[in-house]
Amino acid sequence: MTPLDPTSPTEMPLGRETMSSGLEAATNYHRWNYEWIAPYVRGRILDIGGGTGNHIAFLRRAEVVSIDLSPESVRELRARHRDLPNWSFEVGDITHPAIVDRLGRASFDTVLSCNVFEHIPADELAFAHAGRLLRPGGHLVLLLPAHAWLYGSMDRLAGHFRRYSIDDARRKLEAAGFAPVALRYVNAVGALGWFVNNRLISHRDLSSGAINGQIRVFDRLLIPVLKRIEGARSMPFGQSLVCAGRKPTAA
């Protein structure tokens, strides 16, 4: 299936429209996601694409600034986490020309984004702006959907412009001035399920009973087993790609 055209006038989904409703309650899945990226997340954090906030739920003690294009998502996150004065939520676009000045050049130790860069038409700008927002030695930490050959109906419904290979991610990291630190595929079994749902079945609703039922089974029964099987190994393929790059320290 052909990826979305960045020049298309089609209105893109935002916030909860970009994901299956069953994902919000998939606690094992979100913990597994965090364990993949945790070694590279530290200090003051800029989160790109707050969404439902599942991926930052493990960072309650950290100072976090989270931006999202969806005003509704930002309102929900502010209300839900008003007890955390070390977290702030803003409507913002990481590709906007003024975003670096607005948030502060070299203001963050980590720029974090989970399953968001695939929604950005000009993702090269997102990589570049992340570099300017980071302090020397800071990390850009991404969780990305993997493999162009997995692109299908669910990607289009979610508003994905692309899926990434290791080579794609390395090239974009280096073009933005980052030294790659981690590039590895994860969740091989999830990739097989994604292939079936995306390429062999043409879904029309991300939150159908069939999809949400699969999410519940995968989260409760399979992930505890898969975590022991995969461990910290890099898989030959996967549903997701862990991507981390380090901004060089000043000479």
Question: Would you say residue 7 lies in a domain?
Answer: no
Q: Which amino acid is at 136?
A: P
Alpha helices in 64-148 (DSSP H): 71-80, 99-103, 123-133
Q: What is the pTM of this model?
A: 0.93
Total number of domains constituting the chain? 1
Question: Would you say residue 219 lies in a domain?
Answer: yes
Question: Would you say residue 222 lies in a domain?
Answer: yes
Question: Would you say residue 191 lies in a domain?
Answer: yes
The model's pLDDT over 1-21, given as tens digits with 9 standing for 90+, comes to: 667 665 554 567 888 888 888
The pLDDT of residue 251: 46
Question: Would you say residue 6 lies in a domain?
Answer: no
Question: Would you say residue 106 lies in a domain?
Answer: yes
Place of tokens 């977290």: 87
Question: Would you say residue 5 lies in a domain?
Answer: no
* In the predicted structure, residue 219 carries a pLDDT above the cut 90: yes
Say whether 245 sits in a helix, a strand or coil: strand
* In the predicted structure, residue 180 carries a pLDDT above the cut 90: yes
Domain holding 46, by residue range, is 15-246
The pLDDT of residue 113: 98
Distance (Å, rounded) from C-alpha 53 to C-alpha 201? 29
**Any bridge partners for residue 236, and if so which?**
none
Strand order of the sheet with strand 108-114? 87-91, 64-68, 45-48, 108-114, 134-145, 240-246, 179-186
Cα dihedral: 222, 55, 183, 192 (round 10): 30
Question: Would you say residue 35 lies in a domain?
Answer: yes
The pLDDT of residue 43: 98
Distance (Å, rounded) from C-alpha 56 to C-alpha 60? 8
The CATH code of the domain that includes 197 is 3.40.50.150
